[in-house]
Amino acid sequence: MAIRETDVLCGHIRGIAAGNPAVTAFKGIPYAEAPTGNNRWRPPIPKKPWSGTFDAVRFGNICPQVIPQPGTFYHKEFFSYQHLETHHEDCLQLNIWTPADSKSDNLPVLVFIHGGGFQTNYSFAPQFDGELMAAQGIVVVTINYRLGLFGFLAHPDLRDESPHGLAGNYGLQDQILALRWVRENIASFGGNPEQITISGGSAGASSVLMLSACPLVKGWFQGAIMQSGPLLERNFSQSEAENMGKALLERYGLYSIEDARKVDASILCQYGPDLDRGESPFIQPCIDGVILPEGVRDSLQNGHLHDICYMVGCTNKEAWSMRNRFHATSEEIAHKLEHAYGHYSEAYQRVVKYSTDEEIYDFQLNHGFTEDMLAYCAAFCRMQSLHGRSPVYFYRLERELPGDDAGAFHASEHWYVFRTLDHCWRPFDGSDYQLAKAVSNYWANFIKNGDPNGGTLPVWTPYDRTSPAYMALDVQSHMQPQVTNEAVDLRVKYYCGE
C-alpha cells in the first residue's frame, strides 16, 4: 500500500498518486518560513509546525526571476511553461516522489538541485519530474532555493547585521536547510537518511561541489552527481561580493539594505544579470569562510572535498545552445584570455584562433565553454582520484538530440536522467527512449550502490589517472579514451594547479 499520508516534524501531510499509482507525489512542502519582509537576505528559518493536514497536492512558488525571452533556445527548451506558475519570494519548498509502501522500506534517497546560473529555474520544471526515477526504488527530492539577488546578494549592511559577519550565500543556506529537513523527515516517506545522494546540473552541479566542500554538511550525504559541471573558476571573496552588491544597488538608487527591502520582488529581480543576453552571473556564491571556507578549485586541489563517491560529466556540444549570446569581439576575447589560465594563459592564446569573424564564432562555439566544461570535469576526476579513496565516474553525453542542430547541448542530459522525454517538444525516437532507460539505470545504480554498473549495461569503469576515459552516453554507450587537445590539456593543468 503506497504511502499517501504521513507525519513529519511539522505535522501531518497528504500527497497524491503520481501517474504511476505505485508512486506518491508530495508537492510544495515548505521547509522554511517565507524569506520576505525583514527576512529578505537573512538565513532561512526552519518551518514552524502547522495544524491539521498539509495537502501537498500542488507545486509551490517559483523564486522571482527574469525568464528567458520567448523565441530563445532555453525558453523553448526548459521555460515555456514557467509563466503559468506563481513567482513569489515565499518559494522555499521541496517536492518528494516516493515508491515506498511503508516507512520502514529504508530506500535510497536522491536530492536534486536545479541549475540556471544561480539566477533562474525551479524545482518542478518538466525535465525534473521525479516519478520515473522514483519507480526504480528511490525516494526523489527536488528543492527550491533563493536565486539571483534574493539568494546571493552580499552587501556591507548585511555583514554588519549578521552576528557572524556573513553576507550573501543565502541560497546555499537554503540548500543546507533543505538537506537537514530531508535528513530529519525522509524516513517518514520510506527513505533512508543515511543513504542520500545529492545531484545537480549546471549551477546545481556547482552547488553540489560547494556542498561537497562545506564542513557544515560533512557526513550528510554519501554520493554526489554533477551534471554539465562543475565549474572550477575563481570564486569571489565576500568582500568582493559586497562591493559588487553595493555598487549594483546604488546603480538603482538604493543606498542601504533597509531601502532595498522595501522594493517589490517583481522589480528587484529585474536588477540582476540577464543570462540570456550573455550577461555574466556575477551575483553568485562567495567565499565567506564558513559555508564556503575557500574557493572550490582550492578545495579540489588541496584534497578538502568530502571523500565520497562522485559522478561528473558534461555534453559534447555544451555551447551550441548559447549561440544567441555570442557577441564577443576579437579584442574582448584576447582581454579575457590574458590572465584566464594563470601561467598557461600565453600558451593557450597561441593554440586557439579568434582573429576573423569565422574564428571568433568557432572559438565561442567549440573552444570556449564547450572545452571549458570538458576541462572542468577532467580536472575534477584527475584531482579527486588522487586525493580520495572513493571512486569517481566520468561521463560525456554524445547523443545528438533530434529537432534542431544544437546536438548534445548544455544540460540536455536532464531529459535522459529523469526519463522525461515525453515532457519535451523534441521528436525523440526509440533510440532516445532506450538511451534514457540506460542513463536512468546508471544513475539509479549509483544512487543505490555508489557504482553505476549493473545488469546488462555496458561496463562503466572508474576514472583512472593512468588511462583516463569516460562513458560516452549514446545510442551505443561505451567507454571512450578521454578526448583531448593542447587547448584542453593546458586548462586541465591549470585547474589541477600544476
**Phi/psi zone of residue 187: left (φ > 0), alpha (ψ -120 to 50 degrees), beta?**
alpha
For residue 264, give every residue at least 6 positions away whose Cβ sits within 8 Å of its Cβ, in sequence order, or none: none
Long-range contacts from 72-76, C-beta under 8 angstroms, 24+ separation:
72/276, 72/324, 73/321, 73/322, 73/323, 73/324, 73/406, 73/409, 74/276, 74/321, 75/276, 76/425
Do residues 475 and 435 lie in contact, with contact meaning Cβ atoms separated by under 8 Å?
yes
Closest CA to 34 of 265, 283, 216, 254: 265
- CA 486 to each of CA 43, 320, 347: distance values in angstroms, whole numbers, following the listed order: 45, 21, 9
Question: In what helix (H) or strand (E) does residue 373 lie, and over which residues does it extend?
Answer: helix 369-387
Q: Are 120 and 65 in contact (CB under 8 A)?
A: yes
Active site residue 412: no
Output DSSP code: residue 66: P
User: What is the Cα–Cα distance from 54 to 473, expressed in whole angstroms?
Assistant: 41
Name which of 445, 437, 463, 303 is nearest 381 in CA terms. 463
Annotated catalytic residue, options 123, 188, 199, 202 = 202
Q: What is the rounded CA–CA span in Å between residue 161 and residue 139?
A: 38
- The residue with cell 538537506 is 179
CA-CA distance, 114 to 228, in Å (whole number)?
A: 11
DSSP structure string for 197-242: EEEEETHHHHHHHHHHT-GGGTTS-SEEEEESB---SPPEEHHHHH
Sheet holding 11-14: strands in order across?
Answer: 5-8, 11-14, 53-55
120: helix, coil or strand?
Answer: coil
Q: Which residues are catalytic?
A: 202
